[in-house]
A and B are shown apart, each in its own frame.
Chain A
């Protein structure tokens, strides 16, 4: 299994060791050690909350810089639907697509278009009466990792279809080979323009042996700055017409994916804390009859991603308006595939190569864990339980377990000093 490569980096010069990120991390993956934040790579789900809340700009996402791209290659831009919601007074999506071409990309394949195919594939998958219900979208990589780490019983409910950015990469490469038979596969490089670091991590960390169609992942922030310069006075050519319909563009905001399924029994939620609450309730079987669950770590969907430049709620509004300027009729999978021949089964080429399986935390030596937790429980009763975070652990309970495991010292507790004798 490949090691999960995270995309959140800490600048130790800027990190003051304050407790803001420590207490806001939804999975308690951060500790302050030697006055600097450190992230537990196994527990981290790449939600980017720590980047968002850091007051010292000590955290940032790592991604492929535009200046590092090899412009001698046949570069294909894969713009996320949320990119189109970033611009004021944008009457037509053509300006964005032309701007990307002017930046030096040889081609643009809209992720919004691929999303419309994902909708069709999801419908086929949901028609299988033996599949586990309710279905959970696998489009947000944060949600997928969260479920694999913390919701063992929901893993088999994730829809195992390629996420739109990955399907866009696959289809873009196929189209390039078709249009330019003189190119070899190595000459073609797909560049996903991402609103979030989680998709950077995803592309870096796919399982060994699995083919990846997204070669580079760059930041929407950086592309935005470049586009602003080029879109002024730009004259969109005939090759810059958007291919996606309003359905695809709406994938950039919460509810867009779920609504595209034309199914009444769907639930859509966003914001990492709300997502966790929905998953908890779902696992307890307390949400009633639901067919499909769409969950986005960011609010109000990908438009609110950490690497998206403008206010997410304003971006949602603009994306809604823009959706009215494009065709309503979505791209249909049957235009590119003989769907009849599928026989109601999603072909493997459209599925995630690696199964969504539960990843328990370390060795399941239950007895050892129980003894640790009993000791920690006894210790935490003696702690101040102010959850101040000054010790470097997010809560007194977490601190107790860290002490028992030898990862922290009792003397690290700054609130009380009467532990010396313990």
Chain B
């Protein structure tokens, strides 16, 4: 298969209760394809974290899923404030989430570390004031 199977989702930043919809849809698609259960679980957890981050910090964005014979790429793109220090953000417990979000039980500072843990490879491309693109890679 030369061309990747591609799905696009809008991540709605205005509606917190919708957060997670893209990862739920992605999970369904991966199951239909027959992706191994453990890979689906890791993608579901990491992508959900990413979606929540986009809603909390960046008023939403785009999620794109590319599937080929041997790899899956989840690309999460936003035009939010950007990450000042990726090194800091990768530390467990580091969070810049506002108080009202923390009150909801989010913003524990586990987002990025969890995404790395639940992916085979992660790339972060971020620029303060411009936005952030995170790529989560999985081998099949």
- A: which residues have CB within 8 A of B? 150, 152-153, 280-281, 283-286, 288, 358, 360-361, 364-367, 369-371, 373-374, 377
Contact = CB atoms under 8 A, between A and B. Distances in A.
A152 B40 contact: yes
The residue in B5, B29, B52 that gathers the most chain A C-beta atoms within 10 A of its C-beta is B5
Contacts of A285: 44-45, 48
Contacts of A150: 31
A367 B69 contact: yes
B45 A284 contact: yes
A374 B27 contact: no
B24 A280 contact: yes
12 contacts: A152-B31, A280-B27, A283-B27, A284-B20, A284-B44, A286-B48, A361-B31, A361-B34, A370-B67, A373-B29, A374-B3, A377-B7
Given A361-B32, A370-B67, A374-B3, A153 B20 contact: no
Contact of A288 (B38, B48, B69, B105): B105
Contacts of A364: 34
Contacts of A366: 33-35, 69, 140
B69 A286 contact: no
A360 B27 contact: no
Nearest to B29: A373
A284 B30 CA distance: 14
A333 to B, nearest CB: 34
Nearest to B140: A366
B50 to A, nearest CB: 11
A284 B24 contact: yes
Contacts of A370: 1, 5, 33, 67-69
Contacts, number: 66
A153 B43 CA distance: 12
The residue in A153, A284, A373 that gathers the most chain B C-beta atoms within 10 A of its C-beta is A284
A377 B65 CA distance: 13
A349 B13 CA distance: 51
B53 interface: no
B76 to A, nearest CB: 15
B37 interface: yes
B57 to A, nearest CB: 17
Interface size class on chain B is: 20 to 34
Contacts of B102: none
B41 A152 contact: yes
Contact of B34 (A281, A284, A369): A369
Contacts of B119: none
B23 interface: yes
Contact of B37 (A280, A358, A369): A358
Contacts of A358: 37
A281 B33 CA distance: 21
Given A152-B41, A280-B20, A284-B48, 4 more contacts: A153-B38, A288-B105, A365-B34, A369-B34
A284 B6 CA distance: 21
A319 B61 CA distance: 49
Leading 7 A-B pairs by shortest Cβ distance: A152-B37, A364-B34, A153-B41, A284-B48, A369-B33, A280-B24, A374-B5
B59 to A, nearest CB: 20
Given A366-B69, A367-B1, A373 B33 contact: yes
Contacts of B40: 152-153
A40 B140 CA distance: 29
Contacts of B34: 360-361, 364-366, 369
B113 to A, nearest CB: 14
Given A153-B37, A153-B40, A284-B24, A369 B48 contact: no
B33 A284 contact: no
A360 B40 CA distance: 13
B51 to A, nearest CB: 9
Contacts of B32: 361, 369, 373
A358 B35 CA distance: 12
Contacts of A153: 37-38, 40-41, 44
A256 to B, nearest CB: 27
A371 B35 CA distance: 14
A152 B31 CA distance: 9
Contacts of B35: 366
Nearest to B47: A284
A259 to B, nearest CB: 23
Contacts of A361: 31-32, 34
A283 B31 CA distance: 13
B5 A281 contact: no
B31 A286 contact: no
A361 B32 CA distance: 7
Contacts of A288: 105
B67 to A, nearest CB: 6
The residue in A281, A288, A361, A374 that gathers the most chain B C-beta atoms within 10 A of its C-beta is A374
B20 A286 contact: yes
Contacts of B5: 370, 373-374, 377
Nearest to B24: A280
Contact of B23 (A152, A284, A360, A371): A284
